[in-house]
Copies of this chain bind each other. A is one copy, B any other.
Amino acid sequence: MKKIINAPEDYVDEMLQGIYASHPDQVKCAAGDLRCYCTAHKHDGKVAIITGGGTGHLPLFLGYVGDGLIDGCGVGGVFQSPSAEQIYNITKEVEAGAGVLYLYGNYTGDIMNFDMASEMLEMDDIECRSLVGADDVLSNKNPEARRGVAGIFFMYKAAGAKADEGGTLDEVYAAAKKAGDNVRTVGFALTPCIVPEVGHANFELKDDEMAFGMGIHGEPGVWNGPIKTADELAEESVGEILADMPLEEGTEVALLINGLGATSVEELYILNNSVRKQLDAKGVKVWRSWTGEYATSMEMAGASISVCRVDDELKGYFEHPVNTPFICQK
């Protein structure tokens, strides 16, 4: 295991200590619990947006907490859900009188705990709505059963912008849902990653092998085989996305080329270039793209491609300035 760590059982808390010490003007914890991660900039009357999920995906999930994005994040163990109590404690800290949106990835443990926290809020008369990201096309034929992966980036941006503009809970929910309804993601891994407390990879890939359609926790993909070129991967990925969400010629999209951890930014821009060629050939116009690490799996090599159909409303949300310790857009 080639990691720069101390005791594996201290992985999450030492990471959090480093983050809080580095960004005291921007974030703080609630209830004396490092894993209750909250913005230090609460705005009265704003809808509070809260997420959560397992550690090991930075900047997901906590990296999206900050100005113009979201307000709190429950930090679970590596690839584990935060508890309902943690989510509840975060909510009590950041809730600002305009209701709460729970926005997180479509995983069983997270759904259970966010639902439980939501029930606790009912007793406090705090209005709460929940929405999951479920953008991973290859994880299931049924859109509602799909895993949430990097596409939640666009949902955070839409919800965060709408809340910042003073939107109501229903409006913030609708903005996030519109982004979620219009985004599709396909990903692939070239190497596995290692959960620190386990100490070895939970699957293997040969020296020349990759896994197409793999999830960010190493969930099996649709095929394992020899590594393809960036052009071939772009063609296959864009093909899967457009088969699921047909786009007319002239449609504008936002593009997210996301690195899973170990893949260099150089390669991500090569992939960006390959994806643009594919979309261009189909008459789909890339309005704007983001390239870098937005949802990772520790030291996994690989990438994901998210395509989000945009109109003027979504463009406005995606152009909204944001500033967190991990993500900055002017």
Residues of A within 8 A of B (CB): 2-6, 11, 14-19, 21-22, 55-56, 58-59, 190-191, 207, 210, 227, 229-231, 233, 261-274, 276, 286, 289, 291-293, 296, 298-299, 301-303, 323, 326, 328-330
Contact = CB atoms under 8 A, between A and B. Distances in A.
A264 B229 contact: no
| Identical copies of this chain, number | 2
A272 B266 CA distance: 25
A11 B293 CA distance: 20
Nearest to A323: B330
Contact of A230 (B5, B56, B210, B326): B5
Contacts of A265: 58-59, 293, 296, 326
A16 B265 CA distance: 11
Contact of A266 (B17, B55, B269, B271): B55
Contact of A269 (B18, B262, B273, B303): B18
B328 A270 contact: no
Contact of A298 (B264, B272, B292, B293): B264
A273 to B, nearest CB: 4
Given A230-B6, A262-B262, A270-B14, A22 B291 contact: yes
Contacts of A11: 266, 270
A268 B149 CA distance: 23
A210 B271 CA distance: 30
B190 A4 contact: yes
Contacts of A6: 229-231, 270, 274
Given A58-B266, A261-B264, A271-B4, A18 B291 contact: yes
A323 B330 CA distance: 7
Interface centre among A22, A233, A293 (most CB of B within 10 A): A22
A217 to B, nearest CB: 14
Given A21-B276, A264-B299, A291-B22, A233 B4 contact: yes
Contacts of A190: 2-4
Contacts of A229: 5-6
Given A4-B230, A4-B233, A299-B301, A15 B266 contact: yes
Contact of A21 (B17, B55, B272): B272
Contacts of A261: 262, 264
12 contacts: A2-B190, A2-B227, A4-B233, A4-B270, A5-B229, A6-B270, A15-B269, A18-B291, A21-B289, A22-B269, A262-B262, A328-B330
A267 B5 contact: yes
B230 A266 contact: no
A250 B299 CA distance: 37
The list of the 5 closest CB pairs from A to B, nearest first, reads A18-B269, A18-B273, A328-B328, A262-B262, A18-B272
Contacts of A191: 2
Contacts of A59: 265
Contacts of A330: 323, 328, 330
A290 B5 CA distance: 18
